[in-house]
Structure 1
Amino acid sequence: MSMFLGIDLGTGSCKAAVLDGEGRVCGAGQGTYPAGEGPRRWNEQPPEALLEGIVQASRQALMAARVSARQIEAVSVGGAMHSLLVLDGSERPLTGVITWADGRGAHQAGQYRNTPQGLALYQRTGCPVHGMYPLYKILWLRDEQPGVFAQAARYVTAKEYLLHALTGEWMVDYSIAAGHGSMNTHTLRWDAEALALAGLREEQFSPLAPPQYLLKLKDTPLVAQAGLLPGTPLVLGCSDAVNSSLGAGAVLPNRATLMVGTSGALRVVARQPILHPQGKNWCYAIDSTHWLVGGAINNGGVALDWLRGVFSRAGGAEMTFDAVAALAGEVPPGAGGVLCLPFFAGERSPNWNLNARGVFFGLTLEHGPAHLARALLEGVAFRFRSLAEMLAEVGCEPAEIRASGGFIHSPLWLEIMASVLNRQLFLPEWGETSSWGAAAWAMIGMGAVADLEAAGQLVKVNGRATPDPEQVPVYDHLYALYTRLYENLLPSFEAVARFQHSTGR
């Protein structure tokens, strides 16, 4: 039987899955690498560490599936969006892999935010004006590191760097390029005006291609180390965001994917570009007939991890995520009136405010750690209600929501999310949706399944989370307070951000 290997090059780890021709998972693996690091607001990873991650993940998946490299009909690679690696004329890295979490481009993006030029750029590229996008990080390099900017011969993403190590080719799929800020989401070409904004040339970027584009693994050290065979077809594939939606079976227009991992996102697959008149949502091309439309948050699991770390340090012993969730379950819905605005890493959709900051509001002497834990879980859920309202504004209110990411392992968080949204959440059988989606592109590229929609139909649902009718009115009331609190704090967010920047925090 033919087998297909999917590799998901994420921000925190590399995951792999082997699927058979029916879409069943036969084996999985994971490779780890260091989280991003650097000076304040920087977030870079060593590129060679990412290559080591794929070796671990691929070998583990093949071993778990008990298949040889000869049984792999095709491979496909997915990758985290919005990364940037600068190479010189000899294709040597001039920077680390700058991740989506890097905040260096905030000032440069701020110069175009809420301007006619910025809105026009959004309408062409589908990328809201925000420092997360590589375009604004390149502007930062131009302004702050002119030596690096002058030497830059090629700008690539982590996925492109990996593909080159596997195939010897420079190529980028539409969905990865769409997250750069410089690809026209209508024409599927590099946008001349966006490139001119930063003084860039089209030849500094990889050729664009659809996800079904076929390459071949070359006889390279990485291919051998990953346990793969030269000559094996490699299907170009898509970003981790697209793959997550595909792996959740949410590629039909009436389905959405709600994902909470380190960050989070709510997205739908549309048949045409859909753009918000105020630039709130993003719109990333998948191919010439599909676009990924939605919004993302910076503070998903990373916010819970922050609170877990605070509790661990205060208690002198390491707390697990399950322990924090259990603590949250000790108090009733509404957390005793404590509200959390979980903007610990700034904000993306729908307001794209990097200066937003984390807040716990409503504390009294009667509140304790359990209230903070529950308020944080509820605050993240409120963020998704904001995203759902944003999608409704552009006519993308789904009939069904599929849930994915690490949060699906917490029954309490699932119940909170369902009750805040007042919607059922359906759980796919295989939780690692991005690696499943990557392997599905290998199937699509080789004709094992007809197309994106047919691949999505292979996904089975094996659970659901249902709103608690007693909790829904509680959360309706608190969400209104949460929204008003955010609006009232906007001037204070700006003031405290200026103070923090001035003091190097």
Structure 2
Amino acid sequence: MASRKVDAWFLGLDLGTGSCKTVVVDERGRVLGFGSSEYASDSSLGKWQEQDPNAVLNGMVLAARNAIEHAGELPGSCAGISIGGALHSLMAVDAKGKPLTGLMTWADTRATPQAKAFSQTADASRLYQETGCPMHGMYPLYKIRWLKDERPEIFQKAARFISAKEFVFSRLTDQYVVDYSVAAGSGLLNIHHLDWNPQSLDLAGIKLAQLSMLADPKEIFEGIQPELARRMGLSLKTRLVLGSSDAANSTLGAGSVSMHQATCMVGTSAALRIITPRPILDPVGRSWCYAIDRQHWLVGGSINNGGIALSWLRDCLNRISQASPSGQPLSFAELLEMASQIPLGAQGLICLPFFAGERSPNWNLDSRAVFFGLGLEHDARHIVRAVLEGIAFRLMSLKEILDEISGGVTEIRASGGFTHSNFWLQLVTDALNCELVVPSWGETSSLGAAFWALLATGALQNLDSIYDLIPVKGRLQPGAAEAQTYRLLYQFYCDLYQTVSPSFHALAELKANFWEGIQ
């Protein structure tokens, strides 16, 4: 892939939930090569979602090698690599580093009872103020507590509790180190002091020695374990830069470097994030705040239901179509084409898209999806449009919060799978009523990871300079009439949510009593 003259090259690795994606870039952040490798998750136990940590490690190795091979002829050896890690993962290891559990991902909600119980205590508000993390079962803090409560034999054997990134990093360097952002996403870090939070440790029931050493994302570690270096196609002397989280990297890789520039990511899940020069917390706890380094924090909200809602609908429709002798499976592109045939508002069909529960802004652990207004005049096309608009309404709620706490978002940058659809991009632009900028390179998390290697080695001076390195392939403007209509529909959507919200808990109790364990 590389054709221009290259003086130095760097590697950025993004350890995502479903795959590792890797880019090779030059000293100006221009992409020279790309590679990826998928790994599976096991969700057979309902609320559990685990991965094999060694599969993640092998996926990282393969993705790195693929990216280097894709780049073609490169000068000398790699000038530096950096790793980004998915937030909220957890595993326990023994004193020799042997896994005692599977790798629990962000989507693992087994610790919901622990989070619910603590949210009702007098210390809940204080913990949010210290850690920036609302009370939710995805946070490793509560997963550790779950192990203490439900698997005491494993808890007692655990020498350390680490994330996916820490596991991979330990295999590369024989050291247990974690960056501030991944640490902040655990619920165990004090985001003001950038040290492990005593109240969190007390709640989890663990000691300081069971957590990794904290370090700046620009920290350089010399040398990679020989066998892994060989398999990745790297020199033993390659400098390994600690890097940050996938969330921070995605934001940087899209070019959002100020608190008035947000990144809108829609992939399997979705998020709206800004980078701020200080910790900013919502007075009522609707958003989260994670440290990046000592000068920057990541503030925003995440929703469980992005592309995963569309995947659910596609699978449902495909099961129906395949029951017919002439039925053909639908693709995502065909679903989006179906939705584009229906006018804004889906002719009065409203979707609360909580297919996988809810995170920001209400953090209602019992929320489930609702279709309201479904009639004989509607068909599958209306349902697809309603799901897309339901996701957009969730993003509108996040933008409202960011506008309040930042003083106003004036530009939004797009990231994730939805950037491949002009129709979906315009729908979100109209709903958010803000200019949407689409970077030329869509895999912003791996690109953001590479930027830490450039920063640490001096090829890049500071985070602000990243903005000028991001080429843009499109700028979308909201339609005035469309934005006004979405604002009216959004108010109805919010009223509907408030009306049905009390029933979510009642339904959860019914499910627990009658259908628990049924897949």
1:298 to 301, 304, 308: 304
Counterpart contact for 1:385–1:420, Cα < 8 Å = yes
1:422 to 423, 433, 443: 433
Q: How does 1:484-499 map to 2 (within 5 A)?
A: 484-499=495-510
RMSD: 1.2
Tell me the CA shift for residue 483 of structure 1.
0.4
How many residue pairs get matched?
Answer: 505
Counterpart position of 2:23: 17
Q: What is the TM-score with the length of structure 1 in the denominator?
A: 0.98
3-state secondary structure, aligned to 2:281? coil
Q: Residues 8, 67 of structure 1: CA spacing in aligned structure 2 closer, same or farther, 3 A cutoff?
A: farther
CA distance in 1 between counterparts of 2:370 and 2:43 reads 24
Among residues 445, 461, 471, which one is paired with 2:456 in the alignment?
445
Alpha-carbon distance between aligned partners in 1 of 2:169 and 2:217, rounded to the nearest angstrom = 13
1:307 to 309, 313, 316: 313
Q: Which amino acid aligns with 1:192?
A: P
Deviation at 1:484, TM superposition (A): 0.6
Native 8 Å contact 1:256 1:267 kept in 2: yes
Deviations 1:255-284 (A, max 9, x none): 111100111110100000001111111110
3-state SS of the aligned residue for 2:342? coil
Instruction: Kindly state the Cα deviation for residue 465 of structure 1 after the two structures are TM-superposed.
Output: 2.0
Where do 1:34-53 residues align within 5 Å?
34-53=40-59
Q: Say if 1:62 and 1:69, in contact at 8 Å, map to a contact too.
A: no
Given residue 362 of structure 1, which amino acid in structure 2 is its aligned partner? G
- 1:365 is displaced (CA, Å) by 1.0
SS of residue paired to 2:474: strand
**In structure 2, what residue type is equivalent to 1:371?**
H
Are 1:340 and 2:340 an aligned pair?
no
Instruction: Supply the distance in 2 between the matched residues of 1:96 and 1:318 (Cα, whole angstroms).
Output: 33
Q: Which ranges in structure 1 are unaligned for 5 or more consecutive residues?
A: none
> Which among 185, 190, 193 is matched to residue 187 of structure 1?
193
Residue 68 of structure 1, CA deviation: 5.0
Contact 1:312-1:319 within 8 A present in 2 as well: yes
Among candidates 419, 432, 440, match of residue 443 of structure 2: 432
Matched, 1:382 2:393: yes
3-state SS in 1 of match to 2:429: helix
Aligned to 2:3: none
CA 1:422 to 1:42, structure 2 compared with 1: closer, same or farther past 3 Å?
same
Provide Cα deviations, 1:288-308, integer angstroms capped at 9, x if missing partner: 110001110000011111111
Aligned residue in 2 for 1:355 = 366
What is the rounded CA distance, in whole Å, between the counterparts of 1:116 and 1:390 in structure 2? 25
Q: How much has 1:390 moved relative to structure 2? A: 1.3
Matching of residue 57 in structure 1 with residue 72 in structure 2: no
Q: Which whole-Å CA distance do the structure 1 matches of 2:510 and 2:232 have between them? A: 48
Q: CA deviation at 1:115?
A: 3.8
Partner of 1:113: 119
Greater Cα shift, 166-175 or 108-117: 108-117
Alpha-carbon contact 2:366-2:508 (below 8 Å) kept: yes
Shift of 1:393: 2.5
1:80 aligns with 2:86: yes
Q: Distance in 2 between matches of 1:303 and 1:170?
A: 36
Counterpart in the other structure of 2:423: 412
Shift of residue 392, structure 1, vs aligned partner: 2.1
Q: Is the 8 A contact 1:341 1:379 kept in 2?
A: yes
After superposition, the C-alpha distances for 1:432-489 in whole angstroms (9 at most, x for unaligned) are 0000001111000100011111233311222022212232222112111110111111
**In 2, Cα distance between equivalents of 1:461 and 1:130:** 36
After superposition, where does 1:221-300 map in structure 2 within 5 Å?
A: 221-300=227-306
Structure-1 residue corresponding to 2:383: 372
**What is the match of residue 155 of structure 2?**
149
Task: For 1:485, give the aligned amino acid.
Answer: L
Secondary structure of the residue aligned to 2:128 is: helix
Q: Structure 1 28/98 Cα, relative in aligned 2: closer, same or farther at 3 Å?
A: same
When residues 464 and 384 of structure 1 are mapped into structure 2, their CA distance, relative to the original with a 3 A threshold, is: same
Deviation at 1:222, TM superposition (A): 2.2
Q: C-alpha separation between the residues in 2 aligned to 1:446 and 1:250?
A: 22
Matching residue of 2:169? 163
Residue 133 of structure 1 aligns with which residue?
139
1:70–1:229 CA contact under 8 A, matched in 2: no
SS of residue paired to 1:457: helix
For 2:241 and 2:75, the matched residues in 1 are separated by 16
Contact 1:444 1:455 in 2 (8 A): no
CA contact (8 A) 1:345 1:354 kept: no
Identity of aligned residues (%): 49
SS of the residue 2:273 aligns to: strand
Asked whether the 8 Å contact 1:165–1:220 carries over to 2, the reply is no
Paired residue for 2:4? Answer: none
Distance 2:511 2:407 in 1: 38
Cα distance in 2 for partners of 1:41, 1:69 equals 48
Shift of 1:21: 0.9
Using the alignment, how far apart are the partners of 2:505 and 2:340 within structure 1? 34
Partner-residue secondary structure (3-state), 2:469: coil
Show structure 2 runs of 5+ residues with no match. Answer: 1-6, 323-327
User: Which residue in 2 is equivalent to 1:465?
Assistant: 476
Give TM-score, length-normalised by structure 2. Answer: 0.95
Inter-partner Cα distance in structure 2 for 1:353 and 1:222 = 42
1:69 to partner: Cα distance? 8.5
In 2, the alpha carbon distance for the partners of 1:429 and 1:330 equals 27
CA distance in 1, matches of 2:241, 2:185: 20
Q: Distance in 1 between matches of 2:287 and 2:358?
A: 13
